[in-house]
Amino acid sequence: MKRRQITLWLSLAVLTGGGAIACGLPTASTLPTADVAGTDEPVALTVSAAASVQDALKDAQVAYQDVAPHVTITYNFGSSGSLAQQIIQGAPTDVFLSASTQWMDEVAAQDQIWSGSRQDLLQNDIVLVVPPGETAIKGLADLTPTAVDRVAIGEPNSVPAGRYAKETLTALNLFDPLQSQLVFTKDVRQVLAYVETGNVDAGLVYATDAQLSDQAQVVATAAADTHAPIIYPIAVVQDTDEAGAAQAFIDFLASETGVAIFQGYGFAMAE
């Protein structure tokens, strides 16, 4: 997708329930912005985002219609690693929300991020979940080869939740002993589904995913020092045709309205 030349610079005015958020005229190092609240020109955005944020982003999409009814948002949810590779290979994308700084770094290294648009948006935790009625597993220390048959985690090479899970198990000297018991999945939601249906004895997922389920019990939270910080960065993709509108949507997600939506799903905002 070839980036359109933008000839008009406008200040941003994103209306929220608490008022207006405005930014000044851009410099050469910042993104063009769009007056999303003051135009009726149709805009279509494609947002590639980690699977773990899909419920919150769907609510954000509904709320954004009150601000910018002319903006149509299409989501592409998946593992952050897979999404990053799609962007690097040229898949049309306007905004990338990753569940890992690693995969945002990969995209940035390929000059696929608008300079100045990247920001850390969210934080999360990793928790151990078990199926309904499971009583033998009360904590991470119970994940021993003799105690469990199957433990699900995301594929560490492409799923950030899987990488954090591997780091946690490694820190507790459990990853190598559990090699024959580990079941690797395409994304964190598949881990949760396996636990909910009893196809595995336990799984490691984000706290926000576990909060959505009434069929999986949280029995432990991984200590912060057992894994890298779980940060969700967001940025405008370099090849977008709608750089201003893409940045306006990011600003909305970081606004009072967006923060309330994310916090309602258990996310903490990045500091």
Would you state the pLDDT for residue 79? 92
Neighbour count for residue 181 (Cβ, 10 Å): 20
Taking the domains of the chain in order of start, what are their residue ranges? Answer: 12-122+231-269, 126-226
Neighbour count for residue 261 (Cβ, 10 Å): 21
State whether CATH 3.40.50.2300 applies to domain 12-122+231-269.
Answer: no
Q: Are both 12-122+231-269 and 126-226 of the same fold? A: yes
Spans of the chain, pLDDT less than 70: 1-39
CATH number of 126-226: 3.40.190.10
Would you state the pLDDT for residue 30? 54
Strand ordering across the sheet containing 231-236: 71-78, 43-50, 95-97, 231-236, 119-123, 268-269
Which structure tokens are listed for 252? 């909305």
pLDDT digits (tens, 9 = 90+) for 169-196: 999 999 999 999 999 999 999 999 999 9
Neighbour count for residue 144 (Cβ, 10 Å): 12
Which one-letter amino acid corresponds to residue 25? L
Would you state the pLDDT for residue 156? 96
- Structural contact between residues 96 and 83, judged by C-beta atoms closer than 8 angstroms: yes
Torsion sign, CA atoms 109, 163, 60, 21: negative
Which structure tokens are listed for 53? 């944020």
Would you state the pLDDT for residue 32? 56
**Burial of residue 170 (number of CB atoms within 10 Å: 0-12, 13-18, 19+):** middle
DSSP 20-32: EEEE----TTS--
**Burial of residue 116 (number of CB atoms within 10 Å: 0-12, 13-18, 19+):** middle
Would you state the pLDDT for residue 28? 30
Which structure tokens are listed for 267? 């996310």
Distance CA 57, CA 167 (A): 27
Distances (CA, A) of 69 to 166, 174, 250: 42, 50, 16
Would you state the pLDDT for residue 40? 73
Q: How far apart are the first and last CA of the chain?
A: 33
- Global pTM value: 0.82
